Amino acid sequence: MSHTVLNAEAMPYLDVSDPAFSIRSEAVADARDASWCARTPYGLAVLRYDDVQKLLRHPKLRQGSYRWPSHNGVTGLFARWWENMLLSQEGDTHARLRRMANPAFSPKLIGALQPKFTELANMLIDRFADRGECDFIAEFTEPYATGVICDLLGLPFEKWRELADIAADMGLALGVTFKQDLTTIDAATRRIFDYAEELVALRRAEPSDDFIGMLVRANAETDQLSDQELLDMIVLAIFGGIDTTRNQLGLAMATFVEHPDQWALLGEQPELARAAVEEVMRVRPTITWVTREATETFTYNDTEIPQGTTLHLFSQSAGSDPSVFPEPGFDIAAARKPHFGFGGGAHHCLGHFIARGDMTEALKLLSQRLKNPRFNGEVKWLPDSGNTGAITLPIAFDAA
């Protein structure tokens, strides 16, 4: 970014664009000790808990990734969707869309899905339990995360592979090869919109109170959600719900493998599963930073932040900030302050009730059925920054 930040010379520098950069590195911890903020090739990185909390909802900041397609010189189906969907909107349009979407994501509606989460998790564990080993990503987190979306949309589980593949192809848009992969990305976007149109047609013919039914009703009974906005919202629910949950559950298992006493504790006290989700997201969030952009020049902590500056709010380093979490360990029974793994402010993750519900159920059942999980081969990781997680996670365990 070309914006000049005053006092910037005094700030530490973090090269977050280096593929070897780790958001859990000593360099980040040292930078956090030295300053609330670091310089990066993309703008600023905000490192401490209190500042991340304040800036997540700062009135002079907007959500920062809306310009990603234009930064890459990309137009087309994916770019149109990305620039128009809920996350990229601000102000009145954002508030209107969020109000329309909220009923479909309410905690009341999610409660009804709980038995389906249980059934899905057990069915997947049944497939590999006797073998005493699995690739936890390919055989559990990916089909589970996508299966939950199938349940949400009223699709049969058998569709999971197709949906997962579409989401993976669309996900290429978030990587550095966005422009080269555009044909694949837009073909996947076309297919996901075809799905959404089909689902909407079904609910229009046969109204229902499920997730799509609620959105279709908002579209039919108000003038607040256009046909295109309805489809854009459904696509966001599919796209936003698959990779995030897949990665977060993989990070959960990897963390527990490194803390076997905590896994044993969870197995004995399954009522800790909800707290376990929060503790995992504090120490190992898949969303390691949240992006914001300054809508006008403002001063924060005696630093002038020029209009257009990109800020990465490091949820990862906020969650391990020793001034707020003096006990650095991983402890699912400890009382903790809230983490920022779901972002915060106006753009707080819309799907968090679903994510919390399905991950809680998964960890509860996994800890009952897979004892003493351990690494069983090489774990392949995404870069330890941005949206992170395991690509493959071979584990062995003792089936209970």
- Chain residues binding other proteins by CB under 8 A are 53, 57, 59, 94-95, 98-99, 102-103, 106-108, 338, 342, 344-346, 348-349, 352
Classify 44 as helix, strand or coil. strand
Q: How far apart are CA 158 and CA 161, in angstroms?
A: 7
Shortest distance in whole angstroms from residue 349 CB to other proteins: 8
Shortest distance in whole angstroms from residue 265 CB to other proteins: 25
Q: Which is nearer to other proteins, 83 or 90 (CB)?
A: 90
Shortest distance in whole angstroms from residue 337 CB to other proteins: 10
Cα 325–Cα 363–Cα 243 angle in degrees, nearest 5: 85
Q: Which is nearer to other proteins, 69 or 345 (CB)?
A: 345
Q: How many CB atoms lie within 10 A of CB 284?
A: 25
Q: Which is nearer to other proteins, 10 or 95 (CB)?
A: 95
DSSP character at residue 138: I
Q: Which is nearer to other proteins, 24 or 348 (CB)?
A: 348
Shortest distance in whole angstroms from residue 339 CB to other proteins: 11
Please list, residue by residue across 297-330, b when 16 or more beta carbons sit within 10 angstroms of its beta carbon and e when fewer do: ebebeebebeeebbbbbbbbbbbbbeeebeeeeb
Shortest distance in whole angstroms from residue 355 CB to other proteins: 11
The tokens describing 75, both together, are: 């137009």
Shortest distance in whole angstroms from residue 155 CB to other proteins: 25
Q: Which is nearer to other proteins, 259 or 352 (CB)?
A: 352
Residue 233: C-alpha distances to residues 219, 248, 337, 341 (Å) = 11, 22, 31, 21
Q: Which is nearer to other proteins, 106 or 114 (CB)?
A: 106
Classify 149 as helix, strand or coil. helix
